[in-house]
Amino acid sequence: MINLERLRALAAVDTHGSIARAAQALHITASGMSQQLSKLERECGHRLLEPEGRSVRLTHVGRVLADHAAAVMSRLSTAEQDLAALETEVLGPLRVGAVGSAIRTLLPTALATLAARHPRLTPSVRDGEVADLLPALLHGELDLLLIENWSNRPRHIPEGVAVRTIVTEEAQVALHADHPLGARIVLRLADLAGVPWAACPPGAEPREALVQALRTHGVEPEIRYSVGDHATQLALVASGLTAALIPDAVRQQVPPGVLCVPTDPPLRRHVQAAWRPRTETPPVRACLDVLTHASRSEESATVLKVASEENRTDGRDVG
């Protein structure tokens, strides 16, 4: 295997034109430089230098190897610069894990902003449930998570993991427009007995939050459709087959003929960023900054939207 320092010596001779000047540039003695080059010739099995008057010049093999050496030195210099910049510059990989709804509603804009600001950043995204994403974060497989945490069923966050709430939103019950409960302005959870549901598969946070909320009010939920995608749940609601619990971020996907009704007591979902402070990197900090700024803008828009909805009457009963 060719020694890196001996390659550096050959590249220096090619650049500076003599052993003496190359040795001076590398801060070693001329004899030390000659020894390095002799060892490199033995490693390669080729003559790399030949006399030229009182100096030397590279042989054809020497020029070929010197070109490779220059490329290697250039890449090494870039690597050293990148390593030195890792503490301050936003570059390299950013491995994000997120629940599906956060991928659809928060990440596309955030990642596009990061790409525009930091073109040397290389993000990747893994879809999953919180129960799988948190272990991956702890094991170093992911750098940052977007998870959901429901107010009526708060999830335990492992030691060593920091969280920041990005969005807090209300979840509402999606019903077909002709459903008997659809005329109500607010749905009491205790009145939802006998309603068939579409919900995420067992173990998913939205399903467990729905089940716990209903059981707390004496209702045993009848979940007929285990579907992970909210859009598919809404399609089932639009067909008059079921009800579904829909976070506010998903309400823009509500098809015609479907009503979304708030609950009493309200059910709230917190979308949170989670990361390990011990291994926090500039890409993680940059992503947190973008997500936080985006959530503040979204919060302002939501306040205006809610105020508009409160001023609109739709003739529905309180219940």
Q: Give dist(CA 40, CA 50) in Å, integer.
A: 14
Q: Is the pTM of this model over 0.75?
A: no
Chain segment 220-263, per-residue pLDDT in tens: 999 999 998 899 999 999 999 999 999 998 888 899 999 999 99
Instruction: Please name every residue paired with 58 in a beta bridge, in sequence order, or none if there are none.
Output: 49
Q: Distance (Å, rounded) from C-alpha 72 to C-alpha 275?
A: 36
Tell me what pLDDT residue 51 has.
Answer: 84
Burial class (CB in 10 A: 0-12, 13-18, 19+), 274: buried
Other Cβ atoms closer than 10 A to 167: 22
CATH 3.30.70.1710 for domain 92-310: no
Better pLDDT: 25 or 240: 240
Rounded CA separation 152/210 (Å): 9
Domain boundaries, the chain: 4-85, 92-310
Note the Cα 219 to chain centre separation in Å: 37
What topology is assigned to 4-85 in CATH?
A: Arc Repressor Mutant, subunit A (1.10.10)
Q: How confident is the model at residue 150 (pLDDT cuts 50, 70, 90)?
A: very high
254-312 tens-digit pLDDT: 999 999 999 999 999 999 999 999 888 899 999 999 999 876 655 544 433 433 444 44
pLDDT over threshold 60, residue 3:
yes
